[in-house]
Amino acid sequence: MPFPEPATEERLRDEVRELARELIRIDTSNPPGRESIAAEFIAGYLAEAGVEAELAGPDPERMNLIARIEGAGEGPSLMLMAHTDVVPAPDADWTVPPFAGEVRDGRVYGRGAADMKGELASRIVAFAELARSGERPAGDVVLIAESDEERNTADVGMSWLVRERDDIRCDYALNESGGMVLELAGGRRVVTISIGEKQAASLRLRFYGRAGHASVPAGADNVLARAAEAVRRLIAHDAPAELTPPIAAALDGLGAPSGDPAVAIEWASDQHPVLAGMVPAMTRMTITPTGLQTHEPANVIPPFADVICDCRALPGQGLDDVREQLDRALDGIAYELEPLEPLEGGTESPTDTPLYAICEEYVRERLPGAELLPIVSPGFTDSHWVREAHGTVAYGFAPVFSTPLAVYLDGMHGADEAIDVADLAEMTAFNLAAVRSLR
């Protein structure tokens, strides 16, 4: 890669590589998670750096880790956060064992290497290094290694922490889902930083027909035909595009044509294959069918069928907007809507902050000519909880300057997940820069 090695000492690079490997070897596949084993391991590691960490949570098997380095004065507090759970690794496509933490050609492999045990390791090493150095940051630095991010259903991780532990409240937070370098069509380089996320909910759409015995199908009104047509229409439907102000400003800064959001989005999509997928998703509601269920034995034509959908709404949208899009997509097919959970998420942080400026400066220094590109994550992250409950300014940012994007993105929740050791070092260097320079 054309980038120089980060200014991280070899000692820290070895440390973060080995720590990432150790964390990958602790299987925290969620479900069931069992993140306490990882939390205890991290606590032991921090103890060697002279930091006493605390384990907290309502489930003894799924504890979160909290550690703090007190600031010298009244400077802003900063949370370094990372989840300890990973998604399972069931697919047969893995060419390396997913929980061995193997290193090949300067790259660490295993479930969580990219999402997000590598990043977790970099935050822990930066935190430990700060503690070992005896330096006092301007404000408190709080390290959180939380459980249950991937499923986010057990209320044992960040949702529990922000509710039960107000003392972890911080002015700023660094979390996952940014830091990718994109070379745009015009030769310009941008580095993503996640400033917000969409709302998410699962929906159940119920369709009715007339039940009958499958041995005499002629007289029945088979609801599966209606449900299948509904699935087809939902997949074909595009909700209208909308730009939130920070995204509009970012696209503007890149030189997108102003005026019609759809034109700006099309322009941005043409700039990079990653943006081609991401920009349309982050600028409109998506309702994606992910399941089709009936509740009868195979010899019964069912009275109703359920289509389960994943719904991602933009910040500010509500259930009425969801209904409106369903009406448009289904165009006359009668349905009953039941949200399986309320729309959750949809928070966004401003970009005119000292932490954003630190990220900006880091990128400019390390990749001359590159600019930050704020994005709204189509997926959910724990940044939402601290934004919503504590008013924290939270960004998803950890530099991925070396790992090829295809390797990085395909591995997340996929097979052969991996990250370059150079990026683990880069992330460590960035986290250290952030804790040392936030004032």
Smallest gap from Cβ 5 to Zn ion, in A, equals 26
Q: What are phi and psi of 247, to 5 degrees?
A: -75, -40
The residue sitting closest to Zn ion, measured at its beta carbon, is: 115
Smallest gap from Cβ 302 to Zn ion, in A, equals 37
Check residue 116 for interaction with Zn ion (CB under 5 A).
Answer: yes
Question: In the 3-class helix/strand/coil scheme, how is 102-160 assigned residue by residue?
Answer: CEECCEEECCCCCCCHHHHHHHHHHHHHHHHHCCCCCCCEEEEEECCCCCCCCCCCHHH
Check residue 190 for interaction with Zn ion (CB under 5 A).
Answer: no
Q: Which CA distances in Å does 213 have to 32, 222, 306, 355, 437?
A: 40, 11, 19, 64, 71
Task: Find the part of the chain contacting Zn ion (CB under 5 A) among 16-24, 112-120, 187-195, 286-294.
Answer: 112-120
Task: Find the part of the chain contacting Zn ion (CB under 5 A) among 30-38, 114-122, 316-324, 386-394.
Answer: 114-122
Question: Which lies closer to Zn ion via its Cβ, residue 116 or residue 434?
Answer: 116
Check residue 35 for interaction with Zn ion (CB under 5 A).
Answer: no
Question: Which lies closer to Zn ion via its Cβ, residue 139 or residue 178?
Answer: 178
Check residue 119 for interaction with Zn ion (CB under 5 A).
Answer: no
The residues, ordered by sequence, that sit 6+ positions from 265 with a Cβ below 8 Å of its Cβ are 241, 243, 251, 279, 280, 283
Task: Find the part of the chain contacting Zn ion (CB under 5 A) among 111-119, 320-328, 349-357, 388-396.
Answer: 111-119
Smallest gap from Cβ 180 to Zn ion, in A, equals 14
Check residue 115 for interaction with Zn ion (CB under 5 A).
Answer: yes
Smallest gap from Cβ 116 to Zn ion, in A, equals 4
Q: Interaction with Zn ion in 140-179: which residues (CB under 5 A)?
A: 176
Options 35, 129, 149, 171, the catalytic residue: 149
Residues in contact with Zn ion, total (CB under 5 A)? 3
Options 15, 35, 59, 85, the catalytic residue: 85
Q: Which CA distances in Å does 260 have to 76, 131, 253, 289, 321?
A: 39, 51, 16, 29, 21
Smallest gap from Cβ 413 to Zn ion, in A, equals 9
Judge contact between 222 and 287, C-beta under 8 A: no
Q: Interaction with Zn ion in 245-274: which residues (CB under 5 A)?
A: none
Judge contact between 207 and 304, C-beta under 8 A: yes
- Residue 420 among the catalytic residues: no
Question: Which lies closer to Zn ion via its Cβ, residue 190 or residue 398?
Answer: 398
Tokens of 357: 């400026």
Question: Which lies closer to Zn ion via its Cβ, residue 115 or residue 416?
Answer: 115
Q: Which CA distances in Å does 147 have to 28, 94, 308?
A: 9, 25, 26
Residue written as tokens 């299987």?
27
Residue 46: how many CA atoms within 13 Å on its side-chain side?
Answer: 28
From CA 73, how far away is CA 38, in angstroms rounded? 32
Q: Interaction with Zn ion in 361-420: which residues (CB under 5 A)?
A: none
Smallest gap from Cβ 150 to Zn ion, in A, equals 7
Tokens of 91: 């697919």
Binding pattern for the stretch 198-237 against Zn ion, x by CB under 5 A and - elsewhere: ----------------------------------------
Question: Which lies closer to Zn ion via its Cβ, residue 116 or residue 432?
Answer: 116
- Residue 229 among the catalytic residues: no
Question: Which lies closer to Zn ion via its Cβ, residue 325 or residue 383?
Answer: 383
- 339's enclosing H/E stretch is strand 336-339
Return the SS3 of 177: coil
Question: Which lies closer to Zn ion via its Cβ, residue 118 or residue 137?
Answer: 118
* Residue 253, amino acid: G
Smallest gap from Cβ 115 to Zn ion, in A, equals 4
From CA 61, how far away is CA 50, in angstroms rounded? 25
Residues noted as catalytic: 85, 149
Q: Which residues bind Zn ion (CB under 5 A)?
A: 115-116, 176
